[in-house]
Amino acid sequence: MTRALELAREAAADGEVPVGAVVVDPRTDEVVAEGRNGPIGIHDPTAHAEIVAIRQAGMNRSNYRLTGLSLYVTLEPCAMCAGAISFARIGKVIYAAEDPKGGGVVHGPRFFDQPTCHWRPEVYQDLSHAEEAGQLLRDFFRARRA
C-alpha cells in the first residue's frame, strides 16, 4: 500500500485525483504492475489507477486472467473498476479509503454482491492506511474548491 500511496501523490502532483494501485503476486511479493489515475492527462475516462494497473499486469503476465494476484488500491474501487477486477479474476482487493459517493464495492452498487457478478475477489480494507489515503483526497479536492 505504501507504493500505491506514492503513486497517488504522483497523480495529485499532475492534477489527477490522487489514487494509486499496485498488483502483487502474494506468493512471491513481486510487484507485477502499478498504476495511478490519469484520465485528464491522457483524455481517457477509463484511466483509473486500477484499470491502468490491471492492463499492465495482463501485458506483463501475457494473460488477461490475473487469478491469484492481489490488488492494493488507495481508494475503494468504483463500479467500472470492480467490473474490471472481476473480469480479470483478481484474487484479492485491499483498499485504503472508503468512497461513500463513488465506491462500487462496499458502497453504491456493491458490484461483487450482484448475482450477475461471476467472479468475486476477497475484499479487505487496509485501516492502517485509510486515514492517509483519505487525507490525500480531502486535501486534493479542498485545493480545487478554494
Binding-site positions for Zn(2+) read 48, 78, 81
Residues forming the active site = 50
| Residue set of the binding site | 48, 78, 81
Q: Provide DSSP, 87-123.
A: HHTBSEEEEEE--TTT-SSSSTT-GGGSTT-----EE
The CB density around residue 85, as the number of other CB atoms within 10 Å, is 29
CA end-to-end span of the chain, whole Å?
Answer: 29
How many whole angstroms separate alpha carbon 145 and alpha carbon 131?
Answer: 21
Pairing of strands 92-97, 30-36: unpaired
